[in-house]
Amino acid sequence: MTHIDDTSVAEEMRLSKRMAQLGLCSRREADGYIEQGWVKVNGQTAVLGQKVRPNDRIDLMRQAHQQQAQRVTILLNKPVGYVSAQAEKGYKAAAELITSENHWAEDSSPLRFQTDHSRHLAPAGRLDIDSVGLLVLTQDGRIAKQLIGENSEIEKEYLVRVNGQLSEKGLILLNHGLSLDGEALRPAKVTWQNQDQLRFILKQGKKRQIRRMCELVGLRVTGLKRVRVGRVKLGALPAGKWRYLLPNEQF
């Protein structure tokens, strides 16, 4: 049983929203747990739509923890031509690659593939259709929130092949000083990896952000590969193959 007692929020709010805010689970998962009778507020079984105050005690029951423990997180080396989320415009979704045939033979996870592992997978940070590399697909709302929540501090690292001339001032702007969609971008770490490739380390992920940043300083992206999310690296995982997040790995 988990006990959370936090007084950081001043106003009353829906229980499911509060549970997500506290990092217990996603809102959708919270509603499911509440429906099952697996959530207590101040010792009383919670009901759907219930409102809570900041100092209310929220307990997740053992059954909810057991269900969370069965949820898997998968690391895929996404190839070009697959979309990260739902299939669209004739392109396949990356989740369609999560099959026993595409499971990396060198995966050292103790898990054995079950068809349930390929269901309800959500991308925790997207990659464009023409980008490749590390895509995290998870059934666990806590991990999704950790990686793509609005306050996420998780770094994402990319190798970006470019055409064009980049001035010293342009490099400074890539690190800090650009705006997209009328909003100043958070500071980034951008350095030359080699003659025609930049290394980007970001803590946010606006749509096509790196490509648009490069356009603003006169560069055209010809290749983009994500090689790290937090402390988890793509490593030797081949294109089109996937593996499980290991028990000792944390983002």
Active site residues: 128
How many beta carbons lie within 10 A of that of residue 32, not counting itself?
17
How many beta carbons lie within 10 A of that of residue 47, not counting itself?
12
**Packed helices 27-36 and 62-69: angle between N→C axes, nearest 10 degrees:** 130
| Contact between 244 and 174 (Cβ < 8 Å) | no
Tokens describing residue 201? 């380390």
- The angle formed by the CA atoms of residues 32, 38 and 43, to the nearest 5 degrees, is 135
Q: Any bridge partners for residue 198, and if so which?
A: 160, 192
What lies within 8 Å, CB to CB, of 212 at 6+ separation is 180, 206
**Residue 104 and residue 101: Cα distance in Å, rounded?**
8
